[in-house]
Structure 1
Amino acid sequence: MYESQLRNLFSIRFKFWSKLQARIFARPSVQASPTKFPRVNAFRCTEAMPTLLSLPSEILSLICNQVARLDIGYVDALYFNRAPASGDLAAVSRTCRLLHQVVEPMLYRCITTHKKFFCLFRTLVTREDLTSHVKRAYMDGWNYQKTIEPLYEEREVVKQLARQLSHDKDGNIRLLNSESVEWAMKDPFQIVDLVDEYHNEDEVGKLFLALTLLLLPRLEYLDLVLHYNLETDLYAQNHFQFLTEIVFKHWDTKYGIDLSEINGLLAAAPNVRVLRGFMVASVGDVVCHKSVRELYLVDSTIDADGLILIMNSFPFLEVFTYESGGTMVGDVEARPCDFTDALIQRNDTLRHVSIDLINSDECGDPSGALQSLQSMQVLETLQLDVPSIYTRNREEFTTDGNRIINLLPSSIKSLSLVHIDPRLRQDSLRLAQVAPKRFPHLKQVTFSKGDPALCEELNKAFLSE
């Protein structure tokens, strides 16, 4: 019950001891209100310090954990400009030696590299006790050409790390896909002297990304911006055995990346369950991964063959979300009917599907509307954009009334239709009539993003049922 109060207490760096003492040690008659703290003199604060520090370590950890939430969370955008709210917690770590020991590992549970990378890298290289506490990492901005000079004093340590990447456990040289990376790992700092500025930046970025990840074997969540491939055989098998979620984003605002660019991570992370891609333009030869259960592709452009490869690469996929990025990301994109073919490949595992092709040039193709999903065996929730269900012929405002009925499997529990238009009215009202018998598990149907009056009418039709 002290969570909000403690958060406020610790945020006032040099006065928080007196306020914490007032909340915890004051007599009931002088307890402070949630919004106002009583004045406590320095003498009483000093008296309270030994009592506070005598608390069991697990209680101190619990208190410090309330100071700041250090997880940034997933950001559905190319770049993120926020960092963990660690300022208050850092202030606590500077108050005394005991609290420093308690707090310091907490500060490294979530790290970012978009500011002062070389300071972070030096700490990770020299403090193995801290790297074991890193659970979440947010990595972007891999232009290190002007910032790696301070790492020269750790040159030998960096070379040893590079050797771990370029050699297997028996000391044999790995057969890397990129000759330049294999060469660079013999002496990582020699690439700083290259004449080609752009090649230099890419190689330095790729190398130090690989080295940083090597230092974080207990990583659970990774968010990174990519503009180059990570070789598939860089890391030993099961190196990232704790990694469960990977977020990968394209480095630019135009075009996109290939899903296979994270093969090196997937091959070393046997327990990854969630993949989130931002601006994915192609699939390539993705490694087969049986642990992946959820795949989210935002602002992406995948062709028909790529969709089939995805379904074959993740044989136990349960959640699939796709939002088209249009021609800004890629030139060739699958038609709605191609999504039908791909989804049916995983008809025995897919439970939750969301497809939004409103930004796709293929949306509304007269020969490519989304086809029946009745063969889906376990599909529970489905979200679709209406133009994918119909053709682009806007003069056809009526149908036989069965378009949506023929689309849905009997296992469906929740249906959400977005970007609605008048063609949907007859089919939706017909669905409302037959749903109790045809779809006994269907409990929720919603309509949004269109004519407000039509959305309201259709939503009410299902509420009345």
Structure 2
Amino acid sequence: MDADLAHISALASLCSTSRHLNNIATRHLYHHVRGKHWWRLARTLLARKDLAHRIRSMRIPSVTGVEEADCPPQVVAYYDSQRKIYLDAFLGDDRDEAMFHLGDDELYKGGGNIPVEILSSLCPNLETLESDIYYFGTFRFCAPHSMLHLRSIALSHNDTRYGMSLEHVAPLFRAAPNITHALFCMVSSCDKLDVTLPKLISLDFRKSTFSGSSLVDILSACPNLKTFRYEMGSAMVGDEQFTLREARDVFLAHAPKLESLCLDTSDNEIWKEDWDEAEASEVGGLFAERGVWLAFKPSIWGRRVRTSRPFAP
């Protein structure tokens, strides 16, 4: 991280040296950006479409709200226009529901997804995206097939309890159908995802807990999935968790291209009876017959000694 900051600082210094060096350094400076002061970055990207098109990698951490007096008018105008485009597609009660967290003052609040929605929609050539997001809908300003270069995403739920609903990320999936690798932290449900990601081959869930029906929805959207890693979360994330038997049946039925499956239940304190280590060994044999390598990490709870045992087939 220090090396990255030093690199950015050096490039920024070059920008003030001469016009020629400014042109060279700026191109590299905007190759990878962070969205900490998101309203300033958004103002620049709105004014300089050439820079917006150069951005290949973006990280948007948890951000605070911006004072109304400090928010650039260009950013306010862009938010209003994108919000109108999005809401005009809804009528009646659906419109009222779509208005959730898209109010006039949402731009100035902390703890929302608006910065993520604005910045991601301005960078059509993104290849990697990492962001913290909240419970509710996001990426609503990203039009379908508007981010065809995006290949890798890492999205984390920005709270210490409960979890994100994966269907709230569906607009990003529609905007970026060529995603190949996805990592999610703290997912608690997935209902009616209604998208297909034909190029997605790797899925990684960290500290997550969701039902068997959610697992079906997820796998149905990824027909060519090869690698699936699941690290079970605690009851603080969600109150539903698919069982080992459900995992067996769902993966065998809905993941025809699967090659590697890792199930880490080491933090499983609540659902231990549904994840028996001996039964996991039998399930591993079934997967082996299909050419799928299963790695299973049992719960540490109830043991006399807490171990850091690696995955074992």
> What is the TM-score of this pair, normalised by structure 1?
0.57
Alignment of 1:282-301 (within 5 A): 282-289=189-196, 290-301=198-209
Give 1:323 shift: 0.5
Aligned pair 1:110/2:32, yes or no? yes
Give how far 1:308 is off: 2.0
Which protein is bigger by CA-based radius of gyration? 1
The CA distance in 2 between the partners of 1:284 and 1:251, in whole Å, is: 20
Answer yes or no: is the 8 Å Cα contact 2:225–2:258 preserved in 1: yes
CA contact under 8 A between 1:296 and 1:321: conserved in structure 2?
yes
Partner letter of residue 180 of structure 2? R
Q: How far apart, CA to CA, are the structure 2 residues paired with 1:162 and 1:117? A: 17
Measure, in 2, the Cα distance between the counterparts of 1:329 and 1:184: 22
Give the drift of 1:380: 5.0
Letter in 2 for 1:159: A
* 1:261 counterpart = 2:154: no
* Match status 1:94 vs 2:16: yes
1:25-424 alignment to 2 at 5 Å?
Answer: 85-114=7-36, 116-144=37-65, 146-154=66-74, 158-160=76-78, 162-164=80-82, 166-167=84-85, 173-175=88-90, 179=96, 190-191=104-105, 200-201=109-110, 205-230=112-137, 234-289=141-196, 290-360=198-268, 361-365=270-274, 369-370=279-280, 371-373=282-284, 374=286, 379-386=291-298
SS in 1 for 2:272: coil
Q: Is the 8 A contact 2:153 2:183 kept in 1?
A: yes
For residues 183 and 365 of structure 1, the distance between their equivalents in structure 2, rounded to whole angstroms, comes to: 37
Separation (CA, whole Å) in 2 of partners of 1:315 and 1:270:
13
Q: What count of residue pairs does the alignment treat as equivalent?
A: 301
Shift of 1:166: 3.1
Within 2, Cα distance between the matches of 1:321 and 1:346? 15
Native 8 Å contact 2:121 2:139 kept in 1: no
Give the aligned partner of residue 445 of structure 1.
none
Q: Distance in 1 between matches of 2:40 and 2:140?
A: 28
Cα 1:377–1:259 shift into 2, 3 Å: farther
For residues 158-206 of structure 1, the C-alpha deviation after alignment (integer angstroms, 9 at most, x for no partner) is 42564245338xxx93228553765997xx7x4269xxx9xx545xx43
Tell me by how many angstroms 1:351 deviates: 0.9
Return the letter of the residue paired with 1:235: C
Secondary structure class of the residue paired with 1:350 = coil
Distance in 1 between residues matched to 2:138 and 2:157, nearest whole Å: 17
Residue 45 of structure 2 contacts residue 122 of structure 2 at CA under 8 Å; is this kept in 1? yes
1:366 Cα offset (Å)? 7.8
Q: State the percentage of identical aligned residues.
A: 21
Give the CA deviation at 1:234: 4.0
- d(CA) in 1 for partners of 2:149 and 2:97? 30
Structure 2: state its 5+ residue gaps: none
* 2:45 counterpart letter in structure 1: L
Deviation at 1:286, TM superposition (A): 1.6
Structure 1 residues 178 and 139, CA gap change in structure 2 (3 angstroms): farther
Q: 1:268 to 1:153 in 2, by over 3 A?
A: closer
Q: Which has the higher contact order (CA 8 A, sep 6+)?
A: 2
In the TM superposition, residue 90 of structure 1 has moved relative to its aligned partner by 2.0
Structure 1 residue 231 displacement after superposition: 5.8
Q: Answer with 342-351 or 319-328: which moved more.
A: 342-351
**Considering only aligned residues, what root-mean-square deviation do their CA atoms show, in Å?**
3.5
> Structure 2 counterpart of 1:104, which letter?
T
Return the offset for 1:262: 0.7
Secondary structure of the corresponding residue to residue 317 of structure 1: coil
SS of residue in 2 equivalent to 1:383? strand
- Aligned partners of 2:28, 2:13: CA distance in 1, in Å? 13
Rounded Cα–Cα distance in structure 2 between residues aligned with 1:334 and 1:84: 45
- Uncovered stretches (5+) of structure 1, i.e. residues with no partner: 1-67, 71-82, 395-418, 421-447, 459-465
